[in-house]
Structure 1
Amino acid sequence: MQRRRILFILFLIYFVFAILLNSVGTVILQVINNYGVGKSAASVLEGFKDLPIAIVSFLVASFLPRLGYKRAMLIGLAIVTCACLAMPLVPGFATAKLLFLSVGVAFALTKVSVYSTLGLIATSRKHHAGMMNTLEGFFMVGVLCAYWMFSFFIDSSDPASRSWLNVYWPLAALCAVTFVLLATTTFDERLAALPAERTPAQDFAAMLKLFFKPLVCIFVVTAFLYVLIEQSVGTWLPTFNNEILKLPAAMSVQVTSIFAACLAAGRLSAGVVLRRVHWYPVMNGCLVGMAAVVLLALPLTHGVIANPDVTWFTAPPAAFLFPLIGLFMAPIYPGINSVMLSSLPPHQHSAMTGLLVIFSALGGTTGSLVTGYVFGAFSGHTAFYLTLVPIAVVLVMLFFFRRAVEGASGGEVSSMNCPR
């Protein structure tokens, strides 16, 4: 029962952060409409979210086992509760920057702690893989809910309306409830204890040494490129729907929820698929599927004419086809994470997750900034066609990742149950 309670709280924490982290695309659209901010300027919100994640993870990941995973998660939840309250109380572009800065700092503490806690409560590699896929699937359920929550408060008839800021009241309440549940739950973190004779400086040095292992280096580069693709699409899809497909602001956000739904469905089902099929051909098939969706859907977005009476039944076909890229994208991230973390002892999970979070954050920022620049300077079509480049590179990197995994473990990791 205690393990189930902990797992439920971890899922709830991830659900909360999923809503906050992936609201950046919606907030970008709203600050453009509300505050007269340009696309390039608005794209820095992704940086305010992701760069603190990278910096804080780099500084504290090796130290978190000493601080305590539970204590780190409580600090993160307290930070985002205050940030959510600030949004409607002090509206402005600067407050939006502060929100995502706070979310970034808090998520750095939380993600490392959540991933490391999974390693503590997992009973086997198969169990770890199942929890990892379910956790990431639950994260995408939160993303899906975020689109609908925000769209409910958006007034499409008045783009300048600030009624959308009222969404932060229930979000603050959800953060507070999660804080209370976590505070009243007991955690056993003894397996994650670091050697008492080792200093924090030595802990930090051990994390850096971990990065220079060939397997880890290939892994973090692959994760960087994957997140670059996912954030490029997820962050700018609401604006793409609004400007290229001529959908109303609220509907642009709602239609983007199809992308999140596909990611959720793909990740929740990935645990079943990967227990029966080797992870490598699954990942390759997913990358080919992603490229196929891009090449099939984007030509359908040309020449769309604005329709003030557009509905879900009259929306352009591309509005429903392009988000299906999420279905193929979904298994990649939890799949490679499970392969990597399951090959390490629990006391190294914090350091490894820290490296993962750092490069994931950098990938998200890079993807958003590059896509925002290309979107503004050229077109949304060009911006999304460019995702084919990192897709091709990830395909190559997975080949080397598999070789490194098998070389480092004598084939043990690639043949174990968890990534199948």
Structure 2
Amino acid sequence: MKNCATTKIKWLTYMMFFLFAMTSDAVGVIIPELIKTYDLNLTQASAFHYIPMIFIAFSGLFLGYLADKLGRKATIVLGLILFSLASFLFAAGDSFTYFLSLLGVIGIAIGLFKTGALALIGDISTSTKDHTVTMNKVEGFFGIGAMVGPAIISYLLVAGVSWKFLYIGAGVFCLLLCLAAAKTRYPQPDSTKQEQPINIKESLRLMKDPYALGFSLAVGLYVATEVAIYVWMPTLLLDYDGSFVWLATYALTVFFALRALGRFVGAWLLEHFQWQQVMFIVTSAVFLCYLGTVIGGVDAAIWLLPISGLFMSVIYPTLNSKGISCFHSSQHGAIAGVILFFTAVSAALAPLLMGVISDLFGHVSVGFYLATGFAGLLAVLAFYNLLKDPAKQRIIDIETNSN
């Protein structure tokens, strides 16, 4: 492909991930408003977070193969159209159940365009290393969206404007992306070496593949570690009464900022160092941040948990990239859907488990013992990967067969 076409595709992908983050990571700011408006308890209000995650999970697993069967362009456009329509419909209703139904549609839409976009990155990448670097840049824009969305909601609420305008604005932005995507010429993945049929059954078969399971497990552990920050860290820091109250107040913003910055720094690191080394260093650093929080309590948490975002930043896109790179390009949509399934399930269940444990023992800090365990297991997997590099030969074989 020509460089200008590749650049256009990359920017469209960046913006799709920015859009996804802008709405999904603003949920934490919206939930308190829902509780006041509809007199909800915490369990009821949390549905605003886990309902779209559940639908993303099942969309990725059962519809991810469409990126391989219908093509990247058709799948992305379909997902963007659904997202845009559901976003506009927020203006047409005013009940909590109605909003949840729209979030379900948005979850399906995200599963479609995200698997299509992830498969597309594989099509335009010249090597697995280039794929990983591009994935980190993509997640960098996701990190920016994660900061912009909550900021917009906060501004709207201060101005006395409904939070629903975030979704209406996202619908307009999504419609523009849809038009741009429809006019863009995408590369065609090589399907000459594909021996397996492209259908739901094949997607489910991929879940038995050891490489798909290994990378999905690692992704699930990472997501469980990360989601603890933006779901429960604000509650944990409510107990802080020391000299740095300002940091406790803006800890989540600092975390998102460092995570976004770290993804661009991570792209540079992966261009100059082996990904196995980078992963071991950053996962170990995240584990130490959590361990320090458990040992030092809230006084340590206000520093260590936000700082962990800098180290977390490179983990998800790298695991995602390497997991996808273990499969032929004609299976990239399906494997992206499998990994997305584990991503969304972990994002839905991990904070719920932390909440249950915290309720059981009487304080949210106990939930962070579980998060520390997730971080520790992830570091152990990274150490094993550094020593054994189990995916090395698989990735080499895929690259050789693709050339």
State the TM-score, normalized to the length of structure 1: 0.83
* Cα distance, 1:353–1:47 mapped onto 2, change above 3 Å: same
* Alpha-carbon shift at residue 240 of structure 1 (Å): 4.7
Q: Which residue type is aligned with residue 126 of structure 2?
A: T
Distance 1:238 1:182 in 2: 38
Match of 2:244 in 1: none
Match of 1:220 in 2: 216
Q: Is the 8 A contact 1:35 1:93 kept in 2?
A: yes
User: What are the equivalent positions in structure 2 for 1:165-176 lying under 5 Å apart?
Assistant: 165-176=164-175
* Cα distance, 1:21–1:76 mapped onto 2, change above 3 Å: same
Moved more, 395-404 or 142-151: 395-404
* Cα distance, 1:229–1:92 mapped onto 2, change above 3 Å: farther
* Cα distance, 1:380–1:89 mapped onto 2, change above 3 Å: farther
Match of 2:53 in 1: 50
* Alpha-carbon shift at residue 283 of structure 1 (Å): 2.2
Match of 1:256 in 2: 252
Moved more, 114-123 or 229-238: 229-238
Which of 298, 312, 332 in structure 2 is aligned with 1:301?
298
User: What are the equivalent positions in structure 2 for 1:13-412 lying under 5 Å apart?
Assistant: 13-155=16-158, 163-191=162-190, 199-200=197-198, 203-240=199-236, 243-244=238-239, 255-297=251-293, 299=296, 301=298, 319=302, 321-376=304-359, 378-401=362-385, 405-406=389-390, 409=393, 412=396
Match of 1:307 in 2: none
Distance 2:391 2:140 in 1: 30
The SS at the match of 1:186 is coil
Q: What is the root-mean-square deviation in Å for CA atoms of aligned residues?
A: 3.2
* Alpha-carbon shift at residue 67 of structure 1 (Å): 1.6
Distance 2:339 2:324 in 1: 10
- Greater helix content: 2
Q: Which residue type is aligned with residue 166 of structure 2?
A: V
The CA deviation string for residues 290-310 of structure 1, in whole angstroms up to 9 with x for no partner, is: 2333344574637xxxxxxxx
The CA deviation string for residues 167-205 of structure 1, in whole angstroms up to 9 with x for no partner, is: 33322221122122112222232435786x9655xx434
The CA deviation string for residues 130-168 of structure 1, in whole angstroms up to 9 with x for no partner, is: 211101111111111112111111239xxxx77333333
* Cα distance, 1:403–1:318 mapped onto 2, change above 3 Å: closer
* Alpha-carbon shift at residue 27 of structure 1 (Å): 2.5
* Cα distance, 1:213–1:389 mapped onto 2, change above 3 Å: same
The CA deviation string for residues 237-291 of structure 1, in whole angstroms up to 9 with x for no partner, is: 45555x5459xxxx99965222211111111111211232232332232233223
* Alpha-carbon shift at residue 214 of structure 1 (Å): 2.3
Moved more, 350-359 or 28-37: 28-37
Q: Is the 8 A contact 1:77 1:106 kept in 2?
A: yes
* Alpha-carbon shift at residue 406 of structure 1 (Å): 3.3
* Alpha-carbon shift at residue 100 of structure 1 (Å): 2.4
Distance 1:375 1:109 in 2: 35
Distance 1:143 1:119 in 2: 24
* Cα distance, 1:245–1:107 mapped onto 2, change above 3 Å: farther
* Alpha-carbon shift at residue 359 of structure 1 (Å): 0.7
Distance 1:190 1:338 in 2: 17
* Cα distance, 1:401–1:293 mapped onto 2, change above 3 Å: closer
Distance 1:368 1:99 in 2: 22
* Alpha-carbon shift at residue 25 of structure 1 (Å): 1.9
Distance 2:352 2:158 in 1: 27
* Cα distance, 1:296–1:406 mapped onto 2, change above 3 Å: closer
Q: Is the 8 A contact 1:147 1:253 kept in 2?
A: no
